[in-house]
Amino acid sequence: MMRTLLYYRRLMLFLFLLLFGIASEAQEQDSLRFPDAFFGKYKGTLNIEASKGSSLYAMEFHLLPTDSSEIYKYTLIYGEGDTRQVRDYRLLTKDAEKGEYIVDEKNGILLDDRVVGNRMYAMFEVQETLLTTFITFEKDRMIFEIVATNTKNKNVSGGQTDSIPKVISYPITTVQRAILYKQ
């Protein structure tokens, strides 16, 4: 009897701590609002895995406020020294309530982005290459990912009957991933 009572007390303590931890994490994630909670400069290493091999590059991402409440500095920096490439873009608010933003490359190119929670998504095509980007913001870091495929290299399956739709899939040719830490 005593052993059973001790077991239930430990179980109740464990469940309380588990629920408290989940509630604390949910509250912390809830307080991380895009983009304000993620302003800063992030640095790390970009890993590129392609069919021709893999590469590592220094990478930075800057998300900073401007004088306008609906326009933000959005800067990507690749490499170091002589190979350093700075891509100075802007992030425009289209509809914050819906999580709709636009990356303005300031050369006529506009990329639609969608923010859901702490994650930013975009999909676009450049010269027959389809790219999907995922940027996940966390408290002290961000995860930057791009997946690419050539739209000419499609595989078609299904479609043999009216009840089975034709499906087109694209083999992934390149995966870019960086974990960048807030400075």
Q: Which two tokens stand for residue 54?
A: 């893999």
Give the domain range for residue 12: 1-31
CATH number for the domain spanning 145: value is 2.40.128.20
Torsion of CA 123, 126, 127, 130, to 10 degrees: -20
- What is the structure's pLDDT at 100? 98
- Name 88's Cβ contacts closer than 8 Å, sequence gap at least 6: 73, 75, 106
18, 84: one domain: no
Check residue 33 and give its pLDDT.
Answer: 87
Judge if 3 and 90 occupy the same domain: no
Residues 16 and 102 in one domain: no
| Ranges of the chain whose pLDDT falls below 70 | 1-32
Q: Are residues 72 and 85 in the same domain?
A: yes
Q: Which two tokens stand for residue 46?
A: 């970009």
User: Are residues 81 and 14 located together in one domain of the fold?
Assistant: no
Question: What backbone phi and psi angles, to 5 degrees, belong to 172?
Answer: -70, 125
pTM (whole model) above 0.85? no
Pair (26, 42) in one structural domain:
no
In the chain, alpha helices (H):
2-31
Per-residue pLDDT tens over the stretch 105-144: 999 999 999 999 999 999 999 999 999 999 999 999 999 9
State the total domains in the chain. 2
